Amino acid sequence: MATTNNSAAQAGTATKKRGQFKETWRRLKKNRMAMIGLTVVVFLVLISIFADVLFDYDTVVIKQNTQIRLQGPSAEHWLGTDEFGRDILARLVHGSRVSLSVGVVAVSISLVLGGSLGAAAGFYGGTIDNVIMRFMDILLAVPSLLLSITIVSALGPSIINLMLAIAISSLPGYARIVRASVLTVKDQEFVEAAKCIGANNFEIILSHIIPNCMAPIIVQVSLKVASAILSTSGLSFLGLGVKAPTPEWGAMLSGGRAYLRNAPHLTIFPGIAIIITILSLNLLGDGLRDALDPKLKK
Amino acid sequence: MSRYILKRLVMLIPVLIGVTFMVYFILSLSPGDTAAIIAGEGADAQTIEAVRKDLGLDKPVIVQYGKYMWNLLHGDMGVSYSTKRPVFTTIMSSFPNTAKLAFWSILVAIAIALPIGIISATRQYSAVDNVGMVAALLGVATPNFWLGLMLIIVFSLNLGILPSGGMSGWKSYIMPAITLGTGDAALICRMTRSSMLEVIRQDYIRTARAKGVPEKTVIRKHALKNALIPVVTVIGLQFGSLLGGATLTETVFAWPGVGRLVVDSIKSKDAPMVLGCIVMLTITFSVINLIVDLLYAYIDPRIKAQYKKK
DSSP labels for B263-288? HHHHHTT-HHHHHHHHHHHHHHHHHH
Q: Assess whether the previous peptide bond of A245 is cis (omega < 30° from 0).
A: yes
pLDDT for B167 equals: 82
Cα→Cα distances A203→A150, A198, B271, Å: 37, 10, 45
- Neighboring chain B residues of A260 at a CB cutoff of 8 Å: 149, 152-153, 157
pTM: 0.84
Whole-angstrom Cα distance, residue B255 to residue A278?
27
pLDDT tier at A66 (50, 70, 90 boundaries)?
Answer: confident
Residue A225 CA to residue A99 CA, distance in Å, equals 10
In a domain, B66, yes or no: no
Decide if B80 is inside a domain: no
Residue % of chain A over a pLDDT of 90: 18
Contact A277, A107 (CB under 8 A): no
How far away is chain A from the Cα of B211, in angstroms, using its nearest Cα?
A: 26
In the predicted model, is pLDDT for residue A44 greater than 70? yes
What is the rounded average pLDDT for all residues in chain A? Answer: 83
Domain span at B118: 94-309
CB A140 within 8 A of CB A172: yes
Query: Which of B266, B274, B287, B288 is best to mutate for the A interface (most A CBs within 10 A)?
Result: B266
Looking at residue B309, its pLDDT comes to: 57
Q: Is residue B268 part of a domain?
A: yes
CB A260 within 8 A of CB B157: yes
Tell me, yes or no, whether B63 lies in a domain. no
Q: Do A264 and B153 touch (CB under 8 A)?
A: yes
Number of structural domains in chain B? 1
- Amino acid at site B129: D
Mean per-residue pLDDT, A250-268 = 87
| Arithmetic mean of pLDDT, A8-24 | 60
Span A151-203, pLDDT tens digits: 888 888 888 888 999 999 889 988 988 898 888 888 888 888 888 888 888 88
At A96, the amino acid letter reads: S
Instruction: Give the mutation candidate from B145, B195, B260 for the A interface (greatest A CB count, under 10 A).
Output: B145
Residue A32 contacts by C-beta under 8 Å, 6 or more apart in sequence?
none
In order along chain B (310 residues), what is the average pLDDT of each group of 10 residues? 81 86 84 72 78 77 85 84 86 91 94 92 86 88 92 90 85 91 90 89 89 88 86 87 82 90 85 86 84 79 66
- Please state, in angstroms and rounded to a whole number, the distance separating the CA atoms of residues A298 and A295: 8
* pLDDT at B15 (0 to 100): 86
Strand ranges in A65-198 using DSSP code E only, listed in sequence order? none
B117: domain CATH number is 1.10.3720.10
Chain B environment of A149 (Cβ under 8 Å): 247, 262-263, 266
In a domain, B36, yes or no: no
Domains, chain A, with CATH or none:
22-67+76-296 (1.10.3720.10)
For residue B277, which amino acid is it? C
Please report the pLDDT score of residue A167 as a whole number.
93
Residue B60 inside a domain? The answer is no
Q: Are A179 and A122 in contact (CB under 8 A)?
A: yes
Is B23 within the bounds of a domain? no
Report which residue type is found at B8.
R
**Is the pLDDT confidence value at A212 over 80?**
no
* pLDDT of A4: 46
Residue A2 has pLDDT above 60, yes or no: no
